[in-house]
Amino acid sequence: MSLRIGEVEVEDTFAEAFPCWVARILITAESEKWLYAAAYSATGFATSLIMSPAEAGIERYVPPSETPDRRPGIIIQITHPKKEKLEEQLLRRIGQCVMTCPTTAVFNALESEETVDVGDKLRFFGDGFQEEGEVGDRFVWRIPVMEGEFLTEDVFGVVEGVAGGNFIIMGKTRSEALKAAEVAVEAMRAAAKVVPIFPGGICRSGSKVGSLKYEFLHASTNHLYCPTLRDKVPDSKVPPEVNAIYEVVFNGISVDEIKKATGAGIRAAAACPGVVKITAVNFEGKLGPYKIYLREALS
Amino acid sequence: MSLRIGEVEVEDTFAEAFPCWVARILITAESEKWLYAAAYSATGFATSLIMSPAEAGIERYVPPSETPDRRPGIIIQITHPKKEKLEEQLLRRIGQCVMTCPTTAVFNALESEETVDVGDKLRFFGDGFQEEGEVGDRFVWRIPVMEGEFLTEDVFGVVEGVAGGNFIIMGKTRSEALKAAEVAVEAMRAAAKVVPIFPGGICRSGSKVGSLKYEFLHASTNHLYCPTLRDKVPDSKVPPEVNAIYEVVFNGISVDEIKKATGAGIRAAAACPGVVKITAVNFEGKLGPYKIYLREALS
Amino acid sequence: MSLRIGEVEVEDTFAEAFPCWVARILITAESEKWLYAAAYSATGFATSLIMSPAEAGIERYVPPSETPDRRPGIIIQITHPKKEKLEEQLLRRIGQCVMTCPTTAVFNALESEETVDVGDKLRFFGDGFQEEGEVGDRFVWRIPVMEGEFLTEDVFGVVEGVAGGNFIIMGKTRSEALKAAEVAVEAMRAAAKVVPIFPGGICRSGSKVGSLKYEFLHASTNHLYCPTLRDKVPDSKVPPEVNAIYEVVFNGISVDEIKKATGAGIRAAAACPGVVKITAVNFEGKLGPYKIYLREALS
Amino acid sequence: MSLRIGEVEVEDTFAEAFPCWVARILITAESEKWLYAAAYSATGFATSLIMSPAEAGIERYVPPSETPDRRPGIIIQITHPKKEKLEEQLLRRIGQCVMTCPTTAVFNALESEETVDVGDKLRFFGDGFQEEGEVGDRFVWRIPVMEGEFLTEDVFGVVEGVAGGNFIIMGKTRSEALKAAEVAVEAMRAAAKVVPIFPGGICRSGSKVGSLKYEFLHASTNHLYCPTLRDKVPDSKVPPEVNAIYEVVFNGISVDEIKKATGAGIRAAAACPGVVKITAVNFEGKLGPYKIYLREALS
């Protein structure tokens, strides 16, 4: 059974998602050059826990009028299933990729009763020369560095959020499918507090759990969705007209945000030419506790 | 004692550097959007082994006329002191950050007798559907993915290269010192096969080994180079006129490349206004076997 | 009367558009840095004929596999109501902004029986040293320059296309309205051969013909659509919830392309949060011969 | 006779430059996306008065801490030999390319007794609804637009500055010569209040006055500097090793700024590999009243 948006078939299915601890961090800097340098570094090597030490992505740009130090900002999210591991990843990624980066400062962007220490540990880098400070009503550490001072908020909120929100875009040509996925990512970013976790927001190599052939593998290509294998595997799910498929995968701070992102992303993708079908990945509900029904997300 | 370039003092000292296994990888893609998406992800979270799982950076853009598949390319370098760990990092970073990224392919960019398997292991992701192929005279694996196929060369060269090339720029104002460091990074990239490893190529929080105050720390702020501490520590190395200091740190495939980068970077920085002094970081020769003398690099 | 997309009201009206001579030009270069440098320069100062010497914009990126010289490309469109003026603008803009720009070449991207001379006139810059050449099956001029050679196709197709395609997005907040307009522009570019002509594709200062107060003015702020004037003018068209309005204005090579762009852009904008109403600008059909009905564009 | 920087020959000659009226304008916006959209549009089609209606370029990024409205800023310069024409170009370019661009505001960035009206004329666009306002101690006009309000300072300073500062970089290969020119442009921007006026700052098609062959031409390729013509013209000035030549051309607010830019640019270019010779363009002093001696610029 299916829904429709214009000529695009939307499968009446659900995305299967997972609980995950999430931190939401605001980086500010003097210019976008340094903002993005820090954000790309801090969210790099973080596409999927299958082989990355965390999952992370860029949520949105924040104009200077809305940041504590009145400088341009970027919000990133970093996620890990275990809270202690998340704290460790925050320390490593902020300490190595933001503290080192010219002109940046770091603030918490998630109110929560659950917290992890970040500034409170990074401050030791100041070797006793660090000082307490305030930016607006926020308590920060001022850590002396060669450039001057690095400012970081003390404590960061974390919540049990959601990993693995997703939908799949099937297109007639590669360029049409990819452009639709790009538009979907932009619309998602406009709509919700989520982060796409793959490079540029889009995954072209969706995987299945395990492998048909190699026992030692945890994950292998989702052969049922490979257009070049349509005539080679009996149960291919690639429709006749389709020659390229992309998956948008995103984490967020709540099921509600994931739903909003799903709805906006699918609608925007469906506005683009050459999109044949949109669906989502699930494991028939066996693995993840959250089911994001496309029908609901679009209602 | 010191050298001079115009009005800029260049200290007659050396940068102390270390051996490190290096891989040099060419990523190609359909557009720079995807090239940079893959390159930022694959070289992210890789600024310093102190707390990152590898060190990595972007070396240069390669125009389509010079790549095996006639598409725009980027060369990155990834380094690790241990060869097996480097192989593991290559597998993880290419598998998670490039194979997943729309339109990309991966080629070896370093001829060497020493090699590691990359394509030869990533190919299992194809779950038996992968096929052998050729691009020019290179042997590649064609791995079916949702987008179509991911192509990766089989075997990648590695060499014992150099980590920790560096120089330090001291400026009158933060904006002058930072702009000089940016110009230096551009000139280095033009001159040599090296990669700056910090975000945007520049480190603003140089560290010393250990700590004056906290025994549990492996590294802490290099307080002697902190302008805000000039009047608080007895032996500060910050000259009177100087209000900001940046360090350019880079890895490369040989001592010779590191030297060329050092010379070009220092000369370009010295062309910029507001630069007072340029020097380099060493541990008096106690830690690293390579000494990159600034005098030699500039000759 | 109105149409609806989800919760967004789409007014059942039309955009009023005008005939205009259009050229469609493919610029290629060695990297996107130079592609965009040339394209921004050649399409600059070209937002509206009210006070610019032409209208122009960027249509799309073209991957190396689809260009005559196998290099990355960008398609731009330049328009003028008069064919001779269009030829003059092409000569000036290509001669000054592309021929001068490192690594670029220029090709025709519009098959048409109507043509204008471009290469055939620019060739004189070669001062007799220019030579005939071929790129694929295209006849080009090879003009010696300090860098090497500048290649330009001889003759360029022009058609009587359409100027003034438009729609208007009304949002609850400025950031929501602007983000929706940005997403709309991306979707339009995916869908049709059109160019948005304002900076970044979006106009924030829509105008009306003439002026209420100043007789010497040809155009003045469209006061009926200014949120800050809602309570000051009797017949304001700004709905109560709306605090920001943007107009997307675009030219294209045919009425059909303008229609496709209108449909895709409106649908994508409607996928974004905070959008209250979408409409279009017309002069009650008194000025332009083309009426682009939103109802039709969305069907 | 010649100077030397390392292995690079610097010809002991001068750049010949011309007086020109200059305006220096600060654009601010909510993000760099809109800053650059406005700046590229306002400085587009402005490379050389030979066939452009003005000359213009981007001078520098200004961090939010240094702008009147605490938002990111960009300084551009627009020049024209005649003061009235400069005023007209300012009105057109700011009115069409900045006033229309989302989130931007415009301020004067040049103190001078000589001024032109900009805001004082653009205000009429407000159709009587415009209001006076202040940003810091600056008098601005608040013009109602669909987005909200456009703010522009009333009066803009202009000075008799300098057009035609230049130097020429000769390199062994195209990529080396081009990279050196790019580094030179970065260093110039760091050093002085000048704007490079060609796309990306660099001209690859230097011209001579008039033509050998075509009487109707005002300018034609500088055949003496074309590497492909070295063996075809008797008096070629292309040294044997050289295969590509680029010219950096820049305007600025004073002879002193042009000198500073020349010195920094040449020194930075000379730090790059593959540069063989650096010189400058003049007409033996017959045309322009200003002579910028390279020897002096480098001292």
Q: What is the largest CA-CA distance in chain D?
A: 67
Is the Cβ of C96 closer than 8 Å to some Cβ of chain D? yes
H-only helix segments in chain C: 32-42, 83-97, 119-122, 174-191, 255-270, 294-298
Task: List pLDDT tens digits, range C286-298.
Answer: 888 999 999 999 9
Residues D144 and D76 in one domain: yes
Is the Cβ pair C267, A264 closer than 8 Å?
A: no
Phi, psi for residue B118 in degrees, rounded to 5? -125, -70
Of the candidates B37, B96, B125, which has its C-beta nearest A200's C-beta?
B37
> Where does the pLDDT of residue C248 fall: very low under 50, low under 70, confident under 90, or very high at 90 and above?
very high
Residues D202 and D140 in one domain: no
Q: Which helix (H) or strand (E) holds A178?
A: helix A174-191
State residue C286's pLDDT score.
86
Q: Which residues of A45-77 are buried (b: 16+ CB within 10 A; e: fewer)?
A: bbbbbebbbbbbbbbbbbbbeebbbbbbbbbbb
Please give the mean pLDDT across all residues of chain A: 96
**CB neighbours of residue D236 within 10 Å:** 15
DSSP string, B16-61: EEEEEEEEEEEEE-SSHHHHHHHHHHHTSS-S-TTTSS-EEEEEEE
Residues A85 and A60 in one domain: yes
The residue-averaged pLDDT of C179-201 equals 96
Residues D179 and D147 in one domain: no
Classify C227 as helix, strand or coil: helix
- Segments in chain D below pLDDT 70: 1
Mark which of A159, A186, A218 sits at the end of a domain.
A159
Classify C125 as helix, strand or coil: helix
pTM of the model: 0.96
Closest residue of chain A to B142, computed from CA coordinates:
A228
Task: List pLDDT tens digits, range B266-287.
Answer: 999 999 999 999 999 998 888 8
Residue with tokens 């409607």: C270
Closest residue of chain A to B102, computed from CA coordinates:
A204
Is the Cβ pair C31, B70 closer than 8 Å?
A: no
Size of interface A-C (CB pairs under 8 A): 67
State residue C30's pLDDT score.
97
Please give the mean pLDDT across all residues of chain B: 96
State residue D1's pLDDT score.
57
What whole-number distance in Å separates Cα of residue D55 and Cα of residue D43? 8
State residue A283's pLDDT score.
87
Is the Cβ pair B272, D191 closer than 8 Å?
A: yes
Look up the CATH number of the domain holding residue D113.
3.30.70.520
Please give the mean pLDDT across all residues of chain D: 96
Classify A198 as helix, strand or coil: coil
Is the Cβ of D32 closer than 8 Å to some Cβ of chain A? yes
Is the Cβ of D29 closer than 8 Å to some Cβ of chain C? no
Residues B137 and B262 in one domain: no
CB C114 within 8 A of CB C159: yes
Residues A230 and A277 in one domain: yes
Residues B100 and B167 in one domain: no
H-only helix segments in chain D: 32-42, 83-97, 119-122, 174-191, 255-270, 294-297
CB D223 within 8 A of CB C127: yes
Classify D193 as helix, strand or coil: coil
State residue C166's pLDDT score.
98
- Among A67, A178, A272, A294, most C C-beta atoms within 10 A, so best to mutate, is A272
Total domains in chain B come to 2
Closest residue of chain C to A7, computed from CA coordinates:
C299
Does the pLDDT at position A102 exceed 90? yes
What whole-number distance in Å separates Cα of residue A47 and Cα of residue A33? 22
Residue C212 C-alpha from the chain's centroid = 29
What whole-number distance in Å separates Cα of residue C290 and Cα of residue C162? 8
What whole-number distance in Å separates Cα of residue D105 and Cα of residue D96? 13
What whole-number distance in Å separates Cα of residue A158 and Cα of residue A111? 8
Task: List pLDDT tens digits, range A157-188.
Answer: 999 999 999 999 999 999 999 999 999 999 99
How many Cα atoms occupy the beta-carbon half-sphere of A39 within 13 Å? 29
CB A159 within 8 A of CB A79: no
Is the Cβ of C225 closer than 8 Å to some Cβ of chain D? yes
Residues A79 and A101 in one domain: yes
What whole-number distance in Å separates Cα of residue C201 and Cα of residue D225? 39
Q: How far is CA B152 from CA B79, B84, B98, B142, in A?
A: 19, 20, 10, 7
Residues C24 and C155 in one domain: yes
Mark which of C159, C188, C221 sits at the end of a domain.
C159
The residue-averaged pLDDT of B58-87 equals 97
Is the Cβ pair A71, D61 closer than 8 Å?
A: no
In the chain, the amino acid numbered C195 is: V
Residues B23 and B87 in one domain: yes
- Among B205, B232, B245, most A C-beta atoms within 10 A, so best to mutate, is B205
Is the Cβ pair A31, D63 closer than 8 Å?
A: yes
Task: List pLDDT tens digits, range C212-246.
Answer: 999 999 899 999 999 999 999 999 999 999 999 99
Is the Cβ of D42 closer than 8 Å to some Cβ of chain C? yes
> Where does the pLDDT of residue A1 fall: very low under 50, low under 70, confident under 90, or very high at 90 and above?
low
Task: List pLDDT tens digits, range D145-156.
Answer: 999 999 999 999
Neighbours of chain A (3+ CB pairs under 8 A): B, C, D
State residue C1's pLDDT score.
57
Q: Spell out the long-range contacts of C257-261 with Cβ–Cβ below 8 A and sequence spacing 24 or more.
A: C257/C162, C257/C192, C257/C193, C257/C194, C258/C15, C258/C17, C258/C162, C258/C165, C258/C192, C258/C194, C258/C290, C258/C292, C259/C292, C259/C296, C259/C297, C260/A273, C260/C191, C260/C192, C260/C297, C261/C165, C261/C188, C261/C191, C261/C192, C261/C194
Is the Cβ of C247 closer than 8 Å to some Cβ of chain D? yes
Q: Which residues of D touch C129 (CB under 8 A)?
A: 221, 223, 226, 229, 232
What whole-number distance in Å separates Cα of residue B208 and Cα of residue B224? 9
What whole-number distance in Å separates Cα of residue D19 and Cα of residue D14? 16
Interface of D with C in 259-298 (CB under 8 A): none
- Per DSSP, what are the bridge partners of residue C219? C209
CB C221 within 8 A of CB D144: yes
Is the Cβ pair C30, B65 closer than 8 Å?
A: yes
Q: Which helix (H) or strand (E) holds B177?
A: helix B174-191
Residues D223 and D286 in one domain: yes
User: B124: which 2 tokens?
Assistant: 């299992």
**CB neighbours of residue C135 within 10 Å:** 17
Size of interface B-D (CB pairs under 8 A): 69
Share of chain C above pLDDT 90, in %: 95
CA angle C241, C242, C243 (to 5 degrees): 120
Residue A193 C-alpha from the chain's centroid = 9
Does the pLDDT at position A284 exceed 90? no
- Among A34, A65, A74, most D C-beta atoms within 10 A, so best to mutate, is A65
| Domain region containing A226 | 2-16+162-298
Is the Cβ pair B187, D191 closer than 8 Å?
A: no
Task: List pLDDT tens digits, range B29-50.
Answer: 999 999 999 999 999 999 999 8
Does the pLDDT at position B1 exceed 70? no
DSSP D203: B
How many angstroms away from the CA of C32 is the closest CA of chain D? 11
ipTM attached to this prediction: 0.96
Q: Which helix (H) or strand (E) holds D80?
A: strand D73-80
Does the pLDDT at position C110 exceed 90? yes
Does the pLDDT at position A20 exceed 70? yes
Mark which of C159, C180, C203 sits at the end of a domain.
C159
Task: List pLDDT tens digits, range B209-236.
Answer: 999 999 999 899 999 999 999 999 999 9
What whole-number distance in Å separates Cα of residue D272 and Cα of residue B68? 27
Is the Cβ pair B32, C30 closer than 8 Å?
A: no
How many angstroms away from the CA of A268 is the closest CA of chain C? 5
Residues D127 and D175 in one domain: no
What whole-number distance in Å separates Cα of residue B64 and Cα of residue B172? 41
**CB neighbours of residue A7 within 10 Å:** 9
Task: List pLDDT tens digits, range D36-79.
Answer: 999 999 999 999 998 999 999 999 999 999 999 999 999 999 99
Is the Cβ pair B31, C31 closer than 8 Å?
A: no
How many angstroms away from the CA of C84 is the closest CA of chain A? 35
Task: List pLDDT tens digits, range B235-267.
Answer: 999 999 999 999 999 999 999 999 999 999 999
Q: Spell out the long-range contacts of A176-179 with Cβ–Cβ below 8 A and sequence spacing 24 or more.
A: A176/A244, A176/A272, A176/A273, A176/A274, A176/A275, A176/C190, A177/A243, A177/A244, A177/A245, A177/A246, A177/A274, A177/A275, A177/B147, A178/A202, A178/A244, A178/A246, A178/B102, A178/B103, A178/B147, A179/A272, A179/C189, A179/C190
Is the Cβ pair A128, B213 closer than 8 Å?
A: yes
Q: Is the dihedral of CA B45, B48, B53, B59 positive or negative?
A: positive
